[in-house]
Structure 1
């Protein structure tokens, strides 16, 4: 074969070996909350009355949920869904599952003492860390996470509800925001199967 005939064939082979044609390099999926101004260092009070800092969980993924123990329906349902989704993910990925720390932060520090918060989170398994603090400390942390909460007057000083954001945040090993877990996924009657599956799938996407 002469040189003139060889060059087009060589060019075609080179193009094929370099992934020519219409194929494009795969771009890694980016977390939806990447770069968001959410979270940051804080120190609150654990169920044993001792200080707990967000940095205590460095190296672990974190699920952070704001609520309150006297919540009649939304909080316990969300906590159950998150726990079920985490359990499902841990069953499929035992080692990665151990690297996720779920954290409950009270937005009702007037009633939610450390012991009350500790007893509450134990209803959803032994993996949860429950945190509370002074009203100023809670406000500071809620502002860092862009979480809304407000007291709704009730029939007495201790008989009131708290309206608040329904937002379970997933954060990475360095505390960086990654995603919001889908607790609103429709579920089958009397079960949390739909939400648990959706939460496990979201953990699957970002926990590595």
Structure 2
């Protein structure tokens, strides 16, 4: 017995609906996997105000100068005995793992010790890890303003260490997307492979 036209149309419509559901479900599944980070992704991303600081390259910079790249921002200081050298080393190795994509990532090290961290000292310190790393310093008020924007806390602590006083500070690293918005927070302790994976995901998302 011939199939009635309306039945054929109903079957076709149901098949199309099922196909659409599968496509949409698959897209959301792919998207959720593609944007899963080892760090914490901010949704929506947060705007960062423009603050001018002095760079280790002798130029004045704002974080907005690097739009078009991911900007990896870390707050630390050159006399730091542990967290800062560990983070700098991790970021240098992660950047190396990115291969050709490394040029699309700029690491910025913001000093929380402007009393001792001159542009020249920052340049010498960061060159040991990766010559592309940029240090930023400035007056205490401006640095504090920028740190507060990121939710970074720091405080000078007197010490008997040969390094002099220490500075306790937030150990997380922050990633700005190519539009200059705060997009992700990477906790201290991630491996270079995990950091590189997150940066690749953010470059393609």
> Which TM-score band applies after superposition, normalised by the shorter structure?
0.7 to 0.9
From the superposition, tell whether residues 132 and 21 of structure 1 become closer, same or farther in structure 2 (CA, over 3 Å): closer
Given candidates 115, 119, 142, the residue that maps to 1:114 is: 119
Partner of 2:200: 204
Maintained 8 Å contact 1:38/1:146: no
Partner of 1:70: 79
Distance, in Å, in 1 between the alignment partners of 2:172 and 2:110 is 12
From the superposition, tell whether residues 38 and 71 of structure 1 become closer, same or farther in structure 2 (CA, over 3 Å): farther
Structure 2 unaligned residues grouped into runs of 5+: none
Maintained 8 Å contact 2:57/2:134: no
Structure 1 unaligned residues grouped into runs of 5+: 186-194
Across the aligned residues of Structure 1 and Structure 2, the Cα RMSD in angstroms comes to 2.3
What is the 5 A alignment of 1:48-197?
48-89=57-98, 91=99, 94=100, 96-155=101-160, 159-185=164-190, 195-197=191-193
Distance, in Å, in 1 between the alignment partners of 2:16 and 2:23 is 14
Deviation, 1:35, is 2.7
Output the TM-score relative to the length of structure 2.
0.84
Distance, in Å, in 2 between the alignment partners of 1:36 and 1:61 is 13
| Higher helix proportion (structure 1 or 2) | 2
Deviation, 1:18, is 3.8
Q: Which protein, 1 or 2, shows the higher relative CO under an 8 Å CA cutoff with sep ≥ 6?
A: 2
Q: Which structure 1 residue ranges, 4+ long, deviate > 4 Å from structure 2?
A: none
| Count of equivalent residues | 193
